[in-house]
Structure 1
């Protein structure tokens, strides 16, 4: 039992924890990094104010259909990103996930570890059968990471996002509980 408790929301290199008010400035900084604005958000890539982030941060806290975590590096306990479970559909047992990692920690395995930890949380502690996500077709690093986490490309939304002066596709990925069970 103690071993199971030690692994709760803990990956190889990261720990997922609820963010607190004192994390808000660091959260806002990561969310306003250019890579986050261009790769993880389909809105117009314009930096948000601290008040905008505070409003979002407070709105998501306590919702029963959404769970947001800070991604903390285990060695330093530094906030390096965020991830969450969104749009839970209890009737159909589905949810969406999203993740954002600060520039300094990208392409070092932290995102993959965080996504695996989040997936484990969902399938072990929430009655969800399918996890879904969307990723921009030009975000090849994220696509590789999701595939390492056993997500499968299920569809394409053609010309769905305008970035870098042209339209791009959005890929739809999914992971079923039975698929995830095979790799555990």
Structure 2
């Protein structure tokens, strides 16, 4: 049991923690970066105000059907992004996950480490059978990361997203509990 307690919400390079009011400024900076606006969700990539981010930030602390974490770099305890578990369907034992990493830390393994840590949390502490996610077809780095974590491409939503003046596909990925190999 001691082994599990030491590894709880801790990856090789990151720690997942609840964000506090002191993290708001760093959170707003990351969520306002160009890459985050273009890759994080399917909304029109219009920059949000500090107040918009502050309202969201305050709302996440009270939700019991979502688990939103700050991603903190282990070596410096610096906030480098956020991730979460949402749209939990208790009847069918499924959920969605999402992740957002600041531009400065993308492509350095933090996303993969975060996703593996988040998967460990879900399959060890939530009665979930299947984790789902959506990714834009042009986000090749994220796709490679999800595949490293064991996700399988399950479907394509054709011409689902309008970015860069044209329509793009959104890929659906899933990971079943029996396909998961725990972090070692």
Both structures adopt the same fold (TM-score exceeding 0.5): yes
Judge conservation of contact 2:86–2:96 (CA < 8 Å) in 1.
yes
What is the match of residue 56 of structure 1? Answer: 56
How far 1:54 sits from its partner (Å)?
A: 1.2
Q: How does 1:14-25 map to 2 (within 5 A)?
A: 14-25=14-25
- Measured against aligned partners, the alpha-carbon deviations of 1:35-90 in whole angstroms (never above 9, x if no partner) come to 00001111111111111111111212121110000000000100000000011011
What is the match of residue 171 of structure 1? Answer: 171
What TM-score, normalized by structure 1, do the two folds share?
0.97
- Measured against aligned partners, the alpha-carbon deviations of 1:69-128 in whole angstroms (never above 9, x if no partner) come to 000000010000000001101111000000000011000000000000000000000000
SS at match of 2:35: helix
Q: Distance in 1 between matches of 2:156 and 2:122?
A: 24
Q: Distance in 2 between matches of 1:31 and 1:18?
A: 16
Judge conservation of contact 2:120–2:182 (CA < 8 Å) in 1.
no
RMSD between superposed Cα atoms in Å: 1.2
Q: Which runs of 4+ in 1 moved over 4 A?
A: 181-184
Q: Distance in 2 between matches of 1:28 and 1:46?
A: 14
What is the match of residue 66 of structure 1? Answer: 66
Equivalent pairs counted in the alignment come to: 184
Q: Distance in 2 between matches of 1:112 and 1:141?
A: 10
Task: Go from structure 1 to structure 2 and tell me whether the alpha carbon gap of 1:104 and 1:182 turns closer, same or farther (over 3 Å shift).
Answer: closer
Could you tell me which runs of 5 or more consecutive residues in structure 1 were left unpaired when the two chains were aligned. none
Task: Go from structure 1 to structure 2 and tell me whether the alpha carbon gap of 1:165 and 1:78 turns closer, same or farther (over 3 Å shift).
Answer: same
What TM-score, normalized by structure 2, do the two folds share?
0.97
SS at match of 1:132: strand
